Protein backbone atom coordinates (compact mmCIF):
# COMPACT_ATOMS: atom_id res chain seq x y z
CA UNK A 1 0.00 0.00 0.00
CA UNK A 2 1.36 3.37 -0.98
CA UNK A 3 -0.24 6.69 -0.12
CA UNK A 4 -0.50 9.52 -2.62
CA UNK A 5 2.88 11.12 -1.89
CA UNK A 6 1.74 14.37 -3.50
CA UNK A 7 -0.26 15.09 -0.36
CA UNK A 8 3.02 15.43 1.49
CA UNK A 9 3.90 18.34 -0.81
CA UNK A 10 0.93 20.37 0.42
CA UNK A 11 1.85 23.33 2.59
CA UNK A 12 0.23 23.37 6.00
CA UNK A 13 -2.84 25.58 5.67
CA UNK A 14 -2.39 27.69 8.77
CA UNK A 15 -4.07 30.91 7.62
CA UNK A 16 -7.44 30.65 9.34
CA UNK A 17 -6.18 28.58 12.28
CA UNK A 18 -3.49 31.16 13.00
CA UNK A 19 -6.05 33.96 12.71
CA UNK A 20 -8.29 32.11 15.19
CA UNK A 21 -5.38 31.50 17.59
CA UNK A 22 -4.30 35.15 17.57
CA UNK A 23 -7.88 36.31 18.14
CA UNK A 24 -8.29 33.83 21.02
CA UNK A 25 -5.11 35.07 22.68
CA UNK A 26 -6.12 38.69 22.24
CA UNK A 27 -9.53 37.99 23.79
CA UNK A 28 -7.93 36.34 26.79
CA UNK A 29 -5.75 39.41 27.33
CA UNK A 30 -8.55 41.94 26.62
CA UNK A 31 -11.82 40.33 27.69
CA UNK A 32 -13.53 43.74 27.76
CA UNK A 33 -12.71 44.61 24.13
CA UNK A 34 -15.37 43.87 21.49
CA UNK A 35 -13.74 42.30 18.44
CA UNK A 36 -15.10 43.06 14.97
CA UNK A 37 -14.59 40.40 12.34
CA UNK A 38 -14.05 41.73 8.84
CA UNK A 39 -12.12 38.66 7.80
CA UNK A 40 -14.88 36.18 7.23
CA UNK A 41 -15.61 34.82 3.77
CA UNK A 42 -18.98 33.48 4.90
CA UNK A 43 -22.36 35.15 4.52
CA UNK A 44 -24.32 36.35 7.55
CA UNK A 45 -27.80 37.20 6.20
CA UNK A 46 -30.36 34.37 6.37
CA UNK A 47 -31.92 32.64 3.36
CA UNK A 48 -34.52 34.76 1.55
CA UNK A 49 -38.21 33.87 2.11
CA UNK A 50 -38.91 32.40 -1.37
CA UNK A 51 -36.07 29.92 -0.90
CA UNK A 52 -37.27 28.87 2.55
CA UNK A 53 -40.84 28.44 1.29
CA UNK A 54 -39.71 26.36 -1.72
CA UNK A 55 -37.66 24.07 0.52
CA UNK A 56 -40.54 23.72 3.00
CA UNK A 57 -42.85 22.66 0.16
CA UNK A 58 -40.24 20.16 -1.03
CA UNK A 59 -39.89 18.67 2.46
CA UNK A 60 -43.65 18.14 2.60
CA UNK A 61 -43.58 16.47 -0.85
CA UNK A 62 -40.93 14.07 0.42
CA UNK A 63 -43.28 12.98 3.19
CA UNK A 64 -46.09 11.91 0.84
CA UNK A 65 -45.96 8.64 -1.12
CA UNK A 66 -47.23 10.20 -4.39
CA UNK A 67 -44.63 12.98 -4.43
CA UNK A 68 -41.73 11.30 -2.62
CA UNK A 69 -38.50 11.21 -4.66
CA UNK A 70 -35.55 8.88 -4.33
CA UNK A 71 -32.38 9.20 -6.41
CA UNK A 72 -32.48 12.06 -8.87
CA UNK A 73 -30.41 12.56 -11.99
CA UNK A 74 -26.73 12.83 -11.05
CA UNK A 75 -26.36 16.02 -13.09
CA UNK A 76 -29.33 17.64 -11.35
CA UNK A 77 -33.08 17.89 -11.91
CA UNK A 78 -34.12 19.31 -15.28
CA UNK A 79 -36.20 22.02 -13.54
CA UNK A 80 -33.06 23.48 -11.95
CA UNK A 81 -30.81 23.04 -14.98
CA UNK A 82 -33.45 24.86 -17.04
CA UNK A 83 -33.69 27.61 -14.43
CA UNK A 84 -29.90 28.07 -14.68
CA UNK A 85 -30.21 28.26 -18.49
CA UNK A 86 -32.87 30.96 -18.02
CA UNK A 87 -30.50 32.91 -15.77
CA UNK A 88 -27.74 32.71 -18.39
CA UNK A 89 -30.20 33.79 -21.11
CA UNK A 90 -30.68 37.03 -19.14
CA UNK A 91 -26.92 37.55 -19.56
CA UNK A 92 -27.23 36.96 -23.30
CA UNK A 93 -25.71 33.46 -23.05
CA UNK A 94 -27.63 30.57 -24.63
CA UNK A 95 -27.02 27.20 -23.00
CA UNK A 96 -28.74 23.85 -23.34
CA UNK A 97 -29.71 22.15 -20.09
CA UNK A 98 -27.38 19.24 -20.95
CA UNK A 99 -24.48 21.67 -20.55
CA UNK A 100 -25.40 22.46 -16.92
CA UNK A 101 -24.38 20.18 -14.04
CA UNK A 102 -25.76 20.81 -10.56
CA UNK A 103 -23.25 20.40 -7.75
CA UNK A 104 -23.11 20.67 -3.98
CA UNK A 105 -21.00 23.82 -4.41
CA UNK A 106 -18.21 25.17 -6.55
CA UNK A 107 -15.41 23.88 -4.32
CA UNK A 108 -16.25 20.23 -4.98
CA UNK A 109 -16.44 20.60 -8.74
CA UNK A 110 -13.31 22.78 -8.93
CA UNK A 111 -11.45 19.88 -7.38
CA UNK A 112 -13.37 17.04 -9.05
CA UNK A 113 -13.02 18.39 -12.61
CA UNK A 114 -9.33 17.52 -12.46
CA UNK A 115 -10.30 13.82 -12.60
CA UNK A 116 -10.88 14.16 -16.33
CA UNK A 117 -7.55 15.84 -17.14
CA UNK A 118 -4.18 14.14 -17.31
CA UNK A 119 -1.70 14.81 -14.53
CA UNK A 120 0.86 15.69 -17.28
CA UNK A 121 -0.89 18.98 -17.94
CA UNK A 122 0.78 22.26 -17.05
CA UNK A 123 -1.46 24.50 -14.99
CA UNK A 124 -1.45 28.29 -14.96
CA UNK A 125 -2.72 29.92 -11.78
CA UNK A 126 -2.90 33.61 -10.94
CA UNK A 127 -1.31 34.59 -7.63
CA UNK A 128 -2.87 35.65 -5.27
CA UNK A 129 -5.98 33.52 -5.55
CA UNK A 130 -8.44 31.16 -3.84
CA UNK A 131 -6.04 28.48 -2.52
CA UNK A 132 -8.14 25.49 -3.66
CA UNK A 133 -6.79 25.71 -7.25
CA UNK A 134 -3.22 25.29 -6.08
CA UNK A 135 -3.81 22.55 -3.52
CA UNK A 136 -6.00 20.36 -5.76
CA UNK A 137 -3.29 20.40 -8.42
CA UNK A 138 -0.52 19.66 -5.92
CA UNK A 139 -2.57 16.64 -4.80
CA UNK A 140 -2.43 15.35 -8.36
CA UNK A 141 1.24 16.23 -8.84
CA UNK A 142 0.65 18.65 -11.71
CA UNK A 143 3.19 21.26 -12.70
CA UNK A 144 1.99 24.72 -11.64
CA UNK A 145 3.14 28.01 -13.13
CA UNK A 146 1.98 31.26 -11.57
CA UNK A 147 1.06 34.54 -13.22
CA UNK A 148 1.57 37.54 -11.01
CA UNK A 149 -1.21 39.74 -9.77
CA UNK A 150 0.40 42.99 -8.63
CA UNK A 151 -0.59 46.52 -7.70
CA UNK A 152 0.71 47.57 -11.15
CA UNK A 153 -1.72 45.32 -13.06
CA UNK A 154 -4.55 45.94 -10.58
CA UNK A 155 -4.29 42.26 -9.54
CA UNK A 156 -5.62 41.27 -12.97
CA UNK A 157 -2.73 39.40 -14.61
CA UNK A 158 -2.92 38.88 -18.36
CA UNK A 159 -1.63 35.97 -20.50
CA UNK A 160 2.09 35.38 -20.54
CA UNK A 161 3.19 34.42 -24.06
CA UNK A 162 6.33 32.73 -22.72
CA UNK A 163 4.21 30.06 -21.00
CA UNK A 164 2.30 27.30 -22.79
CA UNK A 165 -0.35 26.15 -20.33
CA UNK A 166 -2.89 23.35 -20.69
CA UNK A 167 -5.20 24.38 -17.86
CA UNK A 168 -5.79 28.03 -16.89
CA UNK A 169 -7.60 29.17 -13.75
CA UNK A 170 -9.38 32.51 -13.69
CA UNK A 171 -11.44 33.88 -10.83
CA UNK A 172 -13.48 37.01 -11.52
CA UNK A 173 -14.61 38.77 -9.38
CA UNK A 174 -11.52 37.61 -7.61
CA UNK A 175 -11.14 36.14 -4.17
CA UNK A 176 -9.19 37.65 -2.38
CA UNK A 177 -8.65 40.88 -4.33
CA UNK A 178 -12.18 41.74 -5.49
CA UNK A 179 -10.71 42.74 -8.87
CA UNK A 180 -12.91 42.03 -11.92
CA UNK A 181 -11.71 41.37 -15.48
CA UNK A 182 -13.26 43.50 -18.22
CA UNK A 183 -14.31 42.07 -21.60
CA UNK A 184 -11.11 43.04 -23.43
CA UNK A 185 -8.99 41.33 -20.75
CA UNK A 186 -11.10 38.16 -20.87
CA UNK A 187 -10.94 38.25 -24.68
CA UNK A 188 -7.15 38.08 -24.42
CA UNK A 189 -7.41 35.05 -22.11
CA UNK A 190 -9.84 33.30 -24.47
CA UNK A 191 -7.58 33.99 -27.47
CA UNK A 192 -4.58 32.66 -25.52
CA UNK A 193 -6.45 29.50 -24.46
CA UNK A 194 -7.63 28.85 -28.01
CA UNK A 195 -4.10 29.38 -29.34
CA UNK A 196 -2.66 26.81 -26.91
CA UNK A 197 -5.70 24.49 -27.00
CA UNK A 198 -5.83 24.98 -23.25
CA UNK A 199 -8.94 24.81 -21.08
CA UNK A 200 -9.92 27.76 -18.89
CA UNK A 201 -11.50 26.89 -15.55
CA UNK A 202 -13.49 30.05 -14.89
CA UNK A 203 -14.68 30.55 -11.31
CA UNK A 204 -17.59 32.99 -11.23
CA UNK A 205 -18.62 32.35 -7.62
CA UNK A 206 -19.00 36.11 -7.04
CA UNK A 207 -20.64 37.02 -10.37
CA UNK A 208 -23.85 38.20 -8.70
CA UNK A 209 -21.93 41.04 -7.04
CA UNK A 210 -21.01 42.69 -10.35
CA UNK A 211 -22.98 45.93 -10.69
CA UNK A 212 -21.12 47.59 -13.56
CA UNK A 213 -23.14 46.52 -16.61
CA UNK A 214 -20.09 46.76 -18.86
CA UNK A 215 -18.25 44.01 -16.94
CA UNK A 216 -18.72 40.35 -17.92
CA UNK A 217 -20.36 38.05 -15.37
CA UNK A 218 -19.80 34.88 -17.40
CA UNK A 219 -16.86 33.87 -19.57
CA UNK A 220 -19.39 32.79 -22.21
CA UNK A 221 -20.17 36.46 -22.87
CA UNK A 222 -16.80 36.40 -24.65
CA UNK A 223 -16.91 35.02 -28.22
CA UNK A 224 -15.03 31.73 -28.54
CA UNK A 225 -15.24 30.90 -24.81
CA UNK A 226 -17.51 27.91 -25.36
CA UNK A 227 -14.66 26.26 -27.26
CA UNK A 228 -12.21 26.68 -24.39
CA UNK A 229 -13.85 27.23 -21.01
CA UNK A 230 -15.67 25.49 -18.19
CA UNK A 231 -17.50 27.78 -15.76
CA UNK A 232 -18.04 27.09 -12.06
CA UNK A 233 -20.60 28.98 -10.07
CA UNK A 234 -22.23 28.70 -6.71
CA UNK A 235 -25.26 29.88 -4.81
CA UNK A 236 -23.12 30.20 -1.67
CA UNK A 237 -22.47 33.92 -1.91
CA UNK A 238 -25.24 34.66 -4.43
CA UNK A 239 -28.05 33.42 -2.21
CA UNK A 240 -26.55 32.56 1.18
CA UNK A 241 -26.22 28.83 0.39
CA UNK A 242 -22.87 28.30 2.15
CA UNK A 243 -24.58 25.95 4.59
CA UNK A 244 -27.30 24.68 2.23
CA UNK A 245 -24.80 23.67 -0.49
CA UNK A 246 -25.64 24.09 -4.17
CA UNK A 247 -23.71 25.24 -7.21
CA UNK A 248 -23.47 24.54 -10.92
CA UNK A 249 -20.83 23.83 -13.50
CA UNK A 250 -21.22 24.60 -17.19
CA UNK A 251 -19.46 22.36 -19.70
CA UNK A 252 -20.35 23.49 -23.25
CA UNK A 253 -20.80 20.91 -26.01
CA UNK A 254 -18.39 22.92 -28.18
CA UNK A 255 -15.51 22.14 -25.78
CA UNK A 256 -13.58 19.31 -27.42
CA UNK A 257 -10.00 18.19 -26.70
CA UNK A 258 -8.17 15.12 -28.10
CA UNK A 259 -11.26 14.51 -30.31
CA UNK A 260 -13.27 14.02 -27.12
CA UNK A 261 -16.25 16.05 -25.92
CA UNK A 262 -15.37 17.25 -22.42
CA UNK A 263 -19.09 17.38 -21.57
CA UNK A 264 -19.34 13.62 -22.17
CA UNK A 265 -16.33 12.89 -19.99
CA UNK A 266 -17.67 15.04 -17.17
CA UNK A 267 -21.10 13.39 -17.39
CA UNK A 268 -19.40 10.00 -17.19
CA UNK A 269 -17.39 11.13 -14.18
CA UNK A 270 -20.40 12.56 -12.39
CA UNK A 271 -22.68 9.57 -13.04
CA UNK A 272 -19.93 7.32 -11.65
CA UNK A 273 -18.81 9.26 -8.59
CA UNK A 274 -21.71 11.56 -7.65
CA UNK A 275 -25.32 10.89 -6.75
CA UNK A 276 -26.68 14.38 -7.04
CA UNK A 277 -27.80 17.17 -4.76
CA UNK A 278 -30.81 16.77 -2.46
CA UNK A 279 -34.22 17.41 -4.09
CA UNK A 280 -35.10 19.84 -1.30
CA UNK A 281 -31.98 21.93 -1.91
CA UNK A 282 -32.55 21.92 -5.67
CA UNK A 283 -36.10 23.26 -5.18
CA UNK A 284 -34.61 26.01 -2.99
CA UNK A 285 -32.05 26.77 -5.70
CA UNK A 286 -34.75 26.86 -8.38
CA UNK A 287 -36.57 29.51 -6.33
CA UNK A 288 -33.42 31.70 -6.38
CA UNK A 289 -33.78 32.04 -10.16
CA UNK A 290 -37.48 33.02 -10.09
CA UNK A 291 -38.26 36.72 -10.61
CA UNK A 292 -39.14 37.13 -6.92
CA UNK A 293 -36.10 35.09 -5.85
CA UNK A 294 -33.71 37.27 -7.86
CA UNK A 295 -35.33 40.37 -6.38
CA UNK A 296 -34.92 39.08 -2.83
CA UNK A 297 -31.32 37.88 -3.19
CA UNK A 298 -30.34 41.13 -4.92
CA UNK A 299 -31.54 43.04 -1.86
CA UNK A 300 -29.14 40.98 0.30
CA UNK A 301 -26.31 41.49 -2.18
CA UNK A 302 -27.02 45.24 -2.16
CA UNK A 303 -26.64 45.20 1.64
CA UNK A 304 -23.22 43.53 1.41
CA UNK A 305 -22.17 45.85 -1.42
CA UNK A 306 -23.09 48.90 0.65
CA UNK A 307 -20.83 47.52 3.40
CA UNK A 308 -18.10 47.09 0.78
CA UNK A 309 -18.57 50.62 -0.51
CA UNK A 310 -18.37 52.08 3.00
CA UNK A 311 -15.18 50.14 3.74
CA UNK A 312 -13.49 50.97 0.43
CA UNK A 313 -14.39 54.69 0.61
CA UNK A 314 -13.16 55.05 4.17
CA UNK A 315 -9.88 53.32 3.32
CA UNK A 316 -9.35 55.53 0.27
CA UNK A 317 -10.15 58.59 2.38
CA UNK A 318 -7.48 57.48 4.83
CA UNK A 319 -4.97 57.21 1.98
CA UNK A 320 -4.86 53.44 1.54
CA UNK A 321 -4.20 51.83 -1.84
CA UNK A 322 -7.33 49.73 -2.48
CA UNK A 323 -8.89 47.50 -5.16
CA UNK A 324 -12.22 45.64 -5.10
CA UNK A 325 -15.25 46.56 -3.07
CA UNK A 326 -17.29 47.88 -6.00
CA UNK A 327 -18.35 44.75 -7.82
CA UNK A 328 -17.28 42.34 -5.14
CA UNK A 329 -17.70 41.68 -1.41
CA UNK A 330 -13.92 41.81 -0.90
CA UNK A 331 -11.70 44.83 -0.41
CA UNK A 332 -7.97 44.37 -0.95
CA UNK A 333 -5.64 46.95 0.50
CA UNK A 334 -1.93 47.59 0.67
CA UNK A 335 -0.64 47.45 4.21
CA UNK A 336 0.58 50.89 5.32
CA UNK A 337 4.09 51.93 6.30
CA UNK A 338 5.82 48.92 4.73
CA UNK A 339 4.14 46.47 7.11
CA UNK A 340 3.81 42.89 5.93
CA UNK A 341 0.43 41.14 5.99
CA UNK A 342 0.79 39.57 9.43
CA UNK A 343 2.27 42.71 10.98
CA UNK A 344 -0.76 44.65 9.78
CA UNK A 345 -3.04 41.89 11.09
CA UNK A 346 -1.43 42.19 14.54
CA UNK A 347 -1.55 45.99 14.41
CA UNK A 348 -5.26 46.14 13.48
CA UNK A 349 -6.18 43.60 16.13
CA UNK A 350 -4.11 45.23 18.88
CA UNK A 351 -5.00 48.85 18.13
CA UNK A 352 -8.57 48.59 16.84
CA UNK A 353 -9.87 45.12 17.74
CA UNK A 354 -10.51 44.46 14.04
CA UNK A 355 -9.87 41.07 12.44
CA UNK A 356 -9.05 40.88 8.74
CA UNK A 357 -7.31 38.31 6.56
CA UNK A 358 -3.57 38.56 5.78
CA UNK A 359 -3.03 38.64 2.02
CA UNK A 360 0.04 36.41 2.33
CA UNK A 361 -2.33 33.48 2.91
CA UNK A 362 -3.45 33.67 -0.74
CA UNK A 363 -0.06 33.39 -2.42
CA UNK A 364 3.37 35.01 -2.54
CA UNK A 365 2.03 38.15 -4.26
CA UNK A 366 -0.42 38.66 -1.41
CA UNK A 367 2.41 39.55 0.97
CA UNK A 368 2.11 43.16 2.07
CA UNK A 369 -1.63 43.18 1.30
CA UNK A 370 -4.75 42.53 3.34
CA UNK A 371 -8.32 41.36 2.66
CA UNK A 372 -11.40 42.82 4.30
CA UNK A 373 -14.79 41.28 3.70
CA UNK A 374 -18.18 42.98 3.48
CA UNK A 375 -20.23 40.00 4.69
CA UNK A 376 -20.65 41.35 8.21
CA UNK A 377 -23.34 43.30 9.99
CA UNK A 378 -23.72 47.00 9.02
CA UNK A 379 -23.35 48.26 12.60
CA UNK A 380 -20.14 46.26 13.02
CA UNK A 381 -18.79 47.70 9.76
CA UNK A 382 -19.61 51.26 10.86
CA UNK A 383 -18.00 50.70 14.24
CA UNK A 384 -14.89 49.21 12.61
CA UNK A 385 -14.61 52.19 10.26
CA UNK A 386 -14.96 54.65 13.16
CA UNK A 387 -12.15 52.81 14.95
CA UNK A 388 -9.99 52.93 11.79
CA UNK A 389 -10.53 56.67 11.44
CA UNK A 390 -9.51 57.31 15.01
CA UNK A 391 -6.30 55.28 14.62
N1 LIG B 1 -14.68 29.84 -5.48
C2 LIG B 1 -14.28 30.90 -4.77
C3 LIG B 1 -13.48 31.94 -5.44
C4 LIG B 1 -14.61 31.01 -3.42
O5 LIG B 1 -14.19 32.08 -2.71
C6 LIG B 1 -15.38 30.00 -2.81
C7 LIG B 1 -15.74 30.05 -1.39
O8 LIG B 1 -15.31 30.85 -0.62
C9 LIG B 1 -15.75 28.89 -3.60
C10 LIG B 1 -15.40 28.86 -4.93
C11 LIG B 1 -16.47 27.73 -3.01
O12 LIG B 1 -17.78 27.95 -2.83
P13 LIG B 1 -18.80 26.81 -2.48
O14 LIG B 1 -19.40 27.19 -1.18
O15 LIG B 1 -19.79 26.83 -3.60
O16 LIG B 1 -18.11 25.49 -2.42
The verdict on the CB of residue 300 being under 6 Å from ligand 1 is no
Rounded to the nearest angstrom, the distance between the alpha carbon of 64 and the centre of ligand 1 is 35
Same domain, 282 and 346: no
Distance between CA atoms of 191 and 189, rounded to whole angstroms?
A: 5
Q: Judge if the upstream peptide bond of residue 106 is cis by omega within 30 degrees of 0.
A: no
| Per-residue pLDDT at 333 | 98
Mark whether 76 and 153 lie in a shared domain: yes
Which stretches of the chain score pLDDT less than 70? none
Nearest to 382 by CA among 14, 34, 36, 7: 36
DSSP H helical ranges for the chain:
15-29, 49-62, 78-90, 106-112, 132-140, 183-195, 236-239, 262-273, 279-288, 291-317, 341-352, 378-390
- Taking CA atoms only, the protein residue closest to ligand 1 atom 8 is 41
192 with 335, same domain? no
pLDDT reported for residue 14? 76
307: CATH: 3.90.1150.10
41 lines ligand 1 (CB under 6 A): yes
Residue 238 beta carbon below 6 angstroms from any ligand 1 atom? no
Cα 63 to Cα 40: distance, rounded to the nearest angstrom:
37
Contact 168, 200 (CB under 8 A): yes
8 Å CB contact between 41 and 373: yes
Mean of pLDDT over the chain: 97
Integer-rounded Cα radius of gyration of the chain: 21
Q: Is there an atom of ligand 1 within 6 Å of 106 CB?
A: yes
Q: What pLDDT does residue 87 have?
A: 98
Same domain, 25 and 101: no
Q: pLDDT value at position 242?
A: 98
pLDDT at site 384: 97
Q: The CATH number of the domain where 225 resides is what?
A: 3.40.640.10
Same domain for 296 and 184: no
Ligand 1 lined by 107 (C-beta under 6 Å)? yes
CA distances from residue 161 to 137, 169, 224, 257, 305 in whole angstroms, order as listed: 22, 16, 19, 21, 36
User: Does residue 297 sit in the same domain as residue 287?
Assistant: no
Choose the final residue of a domain: 291, 322, 345. Answer: 291
Residue 229's beta-bridge partner residues? 200
User: How many angstroms does the Cα of residue 106 sit away from the middle of ligand 1?
Assistant: 6
Q: Please indicate whether residue 242, judged by its CB atom, sits closer than 6 Å to ligand 1.
A: yes
Q: Ligand 1 pocket, 323 CB below 6 A?
A: no
A 10 A CB-CB count for 275 gives 10
Dist CA 355 CA 69 (whole Å): 45
> Which residue's CA lies nearest to atom 2 of ligand 1?
205
Say yes or no: 186 and 264 in one domain. yes
User: Which pLDDT value is given to residue 12?
Assistant: 82
Q: What is the pLDDT of residue 295?
A: 98
The domain in which residue 240 lies consists of 49-291
Say how many domains are in the chain: 2
Q: Is 120 exposed, middle or buried (0-12, 13-18, 19+ CB in 10 A)?
A: exposed
* 0.85 exceeded by pTM: yes
253 with 308, same domain?
no
Q: Do both 284 and 310 map to the same domain?
A: no
**Same domain (yes/no): 367, 227:** no
Separation of alpha carbons 187 and 185, rounded Å: 5
Closest approach atom of ligand 1 to CA 241: 14
Amino acid sequence: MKINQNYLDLKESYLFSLVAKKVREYKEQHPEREIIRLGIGDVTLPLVPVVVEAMQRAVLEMGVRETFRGYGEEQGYAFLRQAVCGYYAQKGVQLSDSEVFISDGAKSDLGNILDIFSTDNTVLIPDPVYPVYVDTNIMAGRKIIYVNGTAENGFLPLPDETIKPDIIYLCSPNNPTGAVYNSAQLESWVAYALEHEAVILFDSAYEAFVQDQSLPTSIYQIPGAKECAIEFCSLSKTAGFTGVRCGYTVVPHELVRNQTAINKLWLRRQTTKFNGVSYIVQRGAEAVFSAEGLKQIRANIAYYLENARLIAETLKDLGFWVVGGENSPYIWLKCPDGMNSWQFFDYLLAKAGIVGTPGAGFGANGEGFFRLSAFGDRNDVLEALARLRSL
